[in-house]
Amino acid sequence: MSKNLRITNSKFIDQTSRISFKFDGKTLYGFKGDTLASALLANDIHLVGRSFKYHRPRGIMTCGSEEPNAIVQLGNDPSMTEPNTRATEIELYEGLEATSQNCWPSVNFDIGAINNFFSPFIPAAFYYKTFMWPASFWEKYEYFIRKSAGLGKSPTKPDRDIYDHRYLHCDVLIIGGGISGIIAAKTAAQNNLNTVLLEDKNNLGGTTIFQNNECFKINNSYSNEWLSKEIVSLNSLKNLTIKTRTTLAAYHSYNYLLARENLTDHLSLNEKKDKIRQRLWKIRAKKVIIATGAMERPLIFNNNDRPGIILSSSIKKYIDYYGVKCGQKISLFTNNDTAYETAISLSKSGVNVNSVIDIRDKSNSSIVKEAEKLGIKIHWKHTVVNTNGYKKIKSIELMKLSDDGTNVVGNKLNEECDCLGISGGWTPRVHLFTQSGGKLKFRDKDNVFLPTKSKSEQISIGSCNGDFELDDVIKNSNNLIKEFLNINSSDYENLEINCSREIDKKNIWLLPSDKPLGKTKPFLDFQNDSTAKDVKLALREGFKSIEHVKRYTTTGMGTDQGKLSNMHALGIIAETAEVKMGELGTTTFRPPYTPLTFGTIVGRNVGKFFDITRKTPIHDWHVEKKAEFENVGQWKRAWYYPKENETMHQAVQRESKAARDSAGILDASTLGKIDIQGTDSSEFLNRVYTNDWSKLEIGKCRYGLMLNEDGMVYDDGVTTRLGENHYLMTTTTGGAANVLSKMEDYLQTEWPELDVYFTSVTDHYGTVSICGPNSKKILSKVIPDLDLSDENFPHMSFKNAMIGKIRCRVMRISFTGEQSYEINVQSGYAKSLWEKCFDAGKEFNITPYGTETMHLLRAEKGFIIAGQDTDGTITPVDLQMDWIISKKKYDFVGKRSLYRTDTIREDRKQLVGLLTDDPNEVLEEGAQIVEDANKKPVEMLGHVTSSYFSPNLNKSIALAVVKSGKKLNGKKMIVPMKNKTIGVTITETVFLDKKNKRLNA
Amino acid sequence: MKNKYSIFSLIKNAFSYHENWQRAWRDPEPKKEYDAIIVGGGGHGLATAFYLAKKHNMTNIAVVEKGWIGGGNTGRNTTIIRSNYLWDASAGLYDHALKIWEKLSQELNYNVMFSQRGVMNLAHNLQDVRDLKRRTHANRLNGIDAVWLNTEEVKKFCPIINTSQDIRYPVLGGTLQRRAGTARHDAVAWGYARGADAMGVDIIQNCEVKGIKRNGNSVEGIETTKGFIKTKKIGVVAAGHSSVIANMVDLKLPLESKPLQALVSEPVKPIIDTVVMSNAVHAYVSQSDKGELVIGAGTDPYVSYTQRGSHDVVEGTLKAILELYPIFSRMKMLRQWGGIVDICPDASPIISKTNIKGLYFNCGWGTGGFKATPGSGDLFAHTIANDEPHKLNADFNINRFVSGDLVDEHGAAAVAH
Amino acid sequence: MFLINCPYCGERDQSEFSSGGEAHIVRPKQPKELSDDQWAEFLFMRKNIKGVQFERWNHAHGCRKWFNMARDTSNDKIHAVYKMGEKPPIK
């Protein structure tokens, strides 16, 4: 039966609002203001989870983000469940359900705990040394390894929550709302600086806000009372924004920071609904003040991992802040003064403190004297050599330390306890400082790594900067802030501060035991079950560097990223390898500071907002006509328009036939359109296209091919000369943006002397393309005033025209080989133009066709699609398009590359046509072409780039690139498929209307 | 002679509390002279040394590493191994490596945890489909086990992928190479180091190359932070820092070094049992034996040696992950990091002699070098020992950038991996 | 994520810009006169400097102007930004 360990002295817990929650299926109660951890402890529940490797019982060890053990699965809705959440950070809410992780069938009885029995055989990195026989069995071993690894469970259904991003710019960003952060915030805001203060907890004040010990006073008030007043005074500051429940996640260069604000995680299940769960703040700060405080260190001794072993400062927080007793017979084990604050708090709250075990010989500080005054027993120069109790600590064994601290002497004492507080000193939270690129220095007297002066606009203040005494924190922070912000004076000069100062220091990274090290289990990384023995094993095997040891032993690689374990790992390495700590360096602290939800990082860019969708102005018409769409880059293009019960093949055959027999209509709005103006426009085109543009008459159109500087085909399209110094270039749909930026690049960087201007007009115009033998008749109905005679308006020419009051540009150009007109109007008119053309074409059975039919029709004519028939390795010569390479021009982009030893080879892959022996057999695009299927190794001569069944030729046709293809016309080849081989013959690339009669038919 | 690793050695050592394990490799001071020096103690460099000793009897050699072995891209990559490349030259190279991977744990007596859980490449538009089918056909004819899967088969092979056709870029199918998979990156470096050391190779850590000494057009040795070391053959396997070494002898390489970022989630129980990559929805994911989702995508688009990239890239990568796996929205990023990758214009590596006698370069692996580690080491060792390339790496010479005979693998290598 | 001081627009987030690689590699005026080696030098060979590198950037999602930048690639510190055609303001 669980006990109630709640006392009634906490002002941070609202004991009038009871909250019910479930842990491992059992209904329990806590109060508003509790964390899951404090509520569990109040219910006398210590056993919360099982460790990663040995499945040892583990309990709550801390009260914050460094918690390695008490991590739980939150919620059980398959959409909303969250693995690996820290009980110490979850604010209790009505309806919370949490379960233990990494145990089966239950945390109380876990089959996996058998691993603990095998632990002698599975030291660090054992898996590299075994599971190699038989060779084929690794994956079978691995199956079981994977099953037993992992901690919580991933959700299995999509998240229903929404996440958000916001940008924030400020003069001063302060990270951490403890005493030094509050001093910084007030000082900055009072000096007209736009200031933002972030605090990851639900309220400000850090550890000082519950410091009620009379050894710590400011201006004759208890330090908690003094700070409460300071916090109240922040409310009146206009320049100050305070964000609580907001954790700084990453500190990038140029003072770019990411912070996660928790908006609903603390709300009841009902209140959470339809609200933004978390928001990612993207912050640019002119100046950053890091005030992230320090973490208490554990001590490393035999069996230091049992439930009920808790950091001493956390025990203090549980009693003073949450009003929860972590036990009723508490022992404390320390190497510094911190534990005495805890002892005093416990004692004053009526909790029985068995004793304080202190590895030091003595301590003369006022706080220790205060403890002694209260009658607290102290074992000086003693260490804990073992702990007992399986699912919760029951007793400890202690012995006297030898003078040099490497051994224990004398008799073993036994002390019964239900909780052991441990304190190994303090570690400044320098993670953000190092993330920002800062280098650390080591301070020997208390074994801490501290920030050096940063190169960017930032400072660290308070205990994250190595000030652990109250008067140092206030005085040094105040001075640093003033200097950093160029301020002469603040509210924090000449305060009267009383505090206990720690005078006596002693540190032993790995505490000795009466047993040989090999028989003990001194845990370093509690979550990953790595021990001091493992670190020593790694060193013995030659893993010297701290990164090697970390990787070999997995120390510091758990969900807490080694917040608790790193310092001791370094200490033990330094000691064993006989290197100085400062010279050893540290592992890199990588972002994020605490794990960051994917959803938060992505924000609203999910689902339909994953990427923008570009739609043509005629899009709605295609939707109405039930077109299927194809994604081309960000564009949605109508792919084909199936009539009832039609397959794609049937639809495409029908569309293709109609376009050739009478008339087809295509939405060509997605083609890239670049408006080119300036006196050097023609010269510019000459330089970027392979062919000659100097003689193109006004009103005429020309096809152009663009190469990369390496000579390979890059893009193509028709460009029209609208005026003396005015062209309209079209590009492929996918290539538009790249072509424009490439042209800007050449213009601005290589040829700035040219007078040319480019404007992207892709979205400004809608383009309707009508093709087929009846296209002229239809167009004459739409634009009766336009003389469409071949004399006045021949193929490859352009006219301005009016449809009513609407100006339009009409190009007579063709990608299908049919007589064809492209009409460009301002986007807003495109749909009505389309409908007008469609109505006018009805009597000719005008048929809307999509991209698939367009591809088929152009393939019949042997026109290439850049990016489909070319792949970045094809030159215009390879395409058999030598005619498009101007002989007159000295240079154009890519020309020189066409004359390299490899590009002039005759046996390059060249574009050819293919006909299948069986005219009904349609080749698969991408299929390979060989001459001799039996030759080994198979010599692949090329591949099929485009392939269709042509309804107009009533046979299968294909384009391909084939080695020496130019010379192979008529040659038989084989396309070897998985289950069969297909015979083909190489042909010319033009299958239909070789004389181009249809263009003027 | 090194102790053999096995379940029996583990049990035996348990009785002496694991206090009698030998060093995995020595920690020697450099000798005055070696027959060859490998610059760079990553997987490729250590493998090169291993095969020089094992197959070419060159045991008086050293590997010099400016930091700690395996600390560069070997220890930073996402460990994907596959050989489904388009061109014959690449297929030959990467499948050579894959075949070595299949027996590597036994060859090294070190479990590199090569796990053939398959690699799937997804197609999201019609050109993706064409390109991937083309690659699959080429792979099949080159004897590489890649197959095309339609959308239903994709879903069946990896049920957590969102194959709904209503998403922005629906999955239209994909290719699967079953022999492909992942391995434990650190183990590869350590296993090769241990193996090379056992044959007498000196592995010298914390030894940075500061200069290359030449006599006429031949190399004579290297200047290092541990002094001058004489040698007639230098094999540079310095990945992102290849150009730094090349600049010491005024050699320009067709390389740009860019940050490549990766991240892992917190560990969870098995949820994805293969490797899935996507070009159009730009990201890839697998799950480590430890349970972490291992995620990556492309490089940052600028030169940098900082081993850090911009947050945009991470955000874009996770955006793609959530598009394909909306169930991962509540998973949490645990750790994010960057490496520096050296990229060739054709997305293929250089394993080549140079015009300086005795100077060899193995570089340009870009975002996908890990998969080639054993093959790269083997072929580079051959090139150094014989002063001429093996037929499998002949096409990967530096001169291809002059002749234009590139091995363009942008399609096959478009996603960082 | 750097902040780049576009010479035309002022300080903007890096995400608005695209990198164009090493600067001051002038496109040869007479490519025909070059050997394949010399052309390859222009086309592909790069110094890829670790340290201060002169490089081209484009304010792609802004004014679309190309400009030059001197940036230390070993720590991403930007030392100078200058317009196309101008000489680097630092060595």
Structural element, H or E, at residue A372: helix A366-373
Residue A724 contacts C, CB cutoff 8 Å: no
The chains found to touch C (3+ Cβ pairs under 8 angstroms) are: A, B
Tell me what the mean pLDDT of segment B355-382 comes to.
97
Torsion A351-A355-A356-A362 (CA) sign = positive
Among the listed residues B320, B321, B341, the one whose alpha carbon sits nearest the alpha carbon of residue B413: B341
How far out from the chain centre does Cα A571 lie? 33
pLDDT of residue A2: 55
What confidence category does residue A1 fall into, taking pLDDT thresholds of 50, 70 and 90? very low
Question: Which residue among B243, B401, B402 sits closest to C48, beta carbon to beta carbon?
Answer: B243
Mean pLDDT of A74-80: 96
CA distance A343 to A393: 18
Task: State yes or no: pLDDT of B1 exceeds 70.
Answer: no
Non-local (6+) Cβ contacts of A804 within 8 A are none
Does A286 contact chain C (CB < 8 Å)? Answer: no
**Looking at the complex, does the CB of residue C1 fall below 8 Å from at least one CB of chain A?**
yes
A610-628 pLDDT, tens digit each: 999 999 999 999 999 999 9
Query: What would the pLDDT profile of A728-758 be if each residue is shown by its tens digit?
Result: 999 999 999 999 999 999 999 999 999 999 9
Distance from CA of A545 to the nearest CA of B (A): 7
Mean pLDDT, rounded, for B46-63: 98
User: How many CB pairs below 8 Å do chains A and C form together?
Assistant: 50
Contact C32 A896 (CB under 8 A): yes
A950 and chain B: CB distance < 8 Å anywhere?
no
Among candidates B67, B113, B318 on the partner chain, residue whose Cβ is nearest the Cβ of A601: B318
Predicted confidence band of residue B324 (pLDDT cuts 50, 70, 90)? very high
Q: Which chains touch B (3 or more CB pairs under 8 A)?
A: A, C
Q: Does A896 touch chain C (CB under 8 A)?
A: yes
pLDDT at A563 over 60: yes
Position C91 confidence tier, pLDDT thresholds 50, 70, 90: confident
Nearest to C66 among A256, A749, A895 (CB): A749
**What size, in residues, is chain C?**
91
CATH topology of domain C3-83: Folate-binding fold (3.30.2270)
Q: What is the ipTM of this complex?
A: 0.98
- Residues in C lying within 8 Å of B, measured between beta carbons: 1-2, 14-15, 18-19, 21-22, 36-37, 39-41, 43-50, 53, 55, 73-76
> A837 by DSSP, 3-state: which?
helix
Question: A856: which residues sit within 8 A by CB, 6+ positions away?
Answer: A652, A656, A948, A950
Q: Which of C18, C54, C66 to mutate to test the interface with A (most CBs of A within 10 A)?
A: C66
**Least Cα separation, residue C61 to chain B (angstroms):** 15
- Judge: A84–B402 Cβ closer than 8 Å, yes or no: no
Chain A CB contacts of C60 under 8 Å are 741
Q: Does residue B414 register a pLDDT over 80?
A: no
Digit-coded pLDDT (tens) for A185-219: 999 999 999 999 999 999 999 999 999 999 999 99
Lowest mean pLDDT among A569-583, A654-668, B310-324: A569-583
Residue labelled with tokens 């009698």: B20
A932 CB within 8 Å of a chain B CB: no
Mean pLDDT estimate for chain A: 95
To the nearest whole angstrom, how far is the Cα of A687 from the nearest Cα of chain C? Answer: 12
Q: How many CB pairs under 8 A join A and B?
A: 310
Q: How far apart are CA A617 and CA A638, in angstroms?
A: 12
Q: How far B238 CA lies from chain A's nearest CA (Å)? A: 19
- How many residues are listed for chain B in this entry? 417
Which residue in B10, B162, B323 is closest to A130 by CB distance?
Answer: B10
Q: How far is CA A494 from CA A208, A215, A485, in A?
A: 19, 19, 19
A433-480 confidence digits (pLDDT tens): 999 999 999 999 999 999 998 878 999 999 999 999 999 999 999 999
Angle at the Cα of A844 from the Cα atoms of A838 and A846, rounded to 5 degrees: 40
Q: How far apart are CA A320 and CA A210, in angstroms?
A: 6
Give the residue from chain C lying closest to B311, CA to CA: C1
Instruction: Band the pLDDT of A10: cuts 50, 70, 90.
Output: confident
Question: How much is the pLDDT for B416?
Answer: 39
**Is residue A477 within 8 Å of A206, Cβ to Cβ?**
no
Helices A366-373 & A338-348 angle (0-180, nearest 10): 30
CA dist A867 → A201, A613, A945, B158, B347 (Å) = 54, 21, 10, 30, 18
The helix or strand, by DSSP H or E, that contains position A549, with its residue range, turns out to be: helix A546-553
Residue A100 has pLDDT above 80, yes or no: yes
Rounded percentage of chain A residues whose pLDDT exceeds 70: 100
Domains along the sequence of chain A with CATH: 162-294+428-498 (3.50.50.60), 667-849 (3.30.1360.120), 896-1000 (2.40.30.110)
How confident is the model over C67-83, as a mean pLDDT?
A: 96
- Residue B415: pLDDT above 80? no
Q: What is the tens place of the pLDDT at every residue in B273-289?
A: 999 999 889 999 999 99
Cis peptide before A134 (omega within 30 of 0): yes
The phi-psi region of residue A95 (left if phi > 0; otherwise alpha if psi is between -120 and 50; otherwise beta) is left
Contacts of B301 in chain C (CB under 8 A): 18-19
State pTM to two decimals: 0.96
Confidence of residue B153 (pLDDT cuts 50, 70, 90): very high
How many helices (H) and strands (E) chain C has is answered by: 1, 6
Q: Tokens 């099982």 sit at which residue?
A: A50
The pairing of beta strand C77-83 with beta strand A909-916: unpaired
Helix (H, G, I), strand (E, B) or coil at A118: helix
Residue B412, pLDDT > 80, answer no
Q: Which residues of A touch C17 (CB under 8 A)?
A: none
* Shortest CA distance from B315: residue in chain C: C15
**From C18, C41, C48, residue closest to B257, measured CB to CB:** C48
A306-332 pLDDT, tens digit each: 999 999 999 999 999 999 999 999 999
Separation CA B359–CA B211 (nearest Å): 13
Which of C25, C37, C64 to mutate: most A Cβ within 10 Å? C64
Q: Do C58 and A741 touch (CB under 8 A)?
A: yes
Contact state of C50 with B241 under an 8 Å Cβ cutoff:
yes
Nearest to A594 by CA among A64, A984, A154: A64
With a cut of 90, say whether residue A4 has pLDDT above it.
Answer: no
Cβ–Cβ below 8 Å for A132 and B106: yes
- To the nearest whole Å, the CA of C50 is away from the closest chain B CA by 6
Q: Which residues of B touch A711 (CB under 8 A)?
A: 404
* Residue C3 in contact with partner chain A when CB distance is under 8 A: yes
C-alpha to C-alpha distances, B6 to A122, A132, A915, B13, B111, nearest whole angstrom: 12, 8, 60, 11, 10
* Candidates B247, B304, B354, partner chain C, best to mutate (most C CBs within 10 A): B304
- In angstroms, the separation between the Cα of residue B387 and the nearest Cα of chain C is 22
Task: Name the pLDDT band for B170 (thresholds 50, 70, 90).
Answer: very high
- Contact list in B for residue C18 (CB cut-off 8 A) is 301
CB within 8 Å: B5 and A132: yes
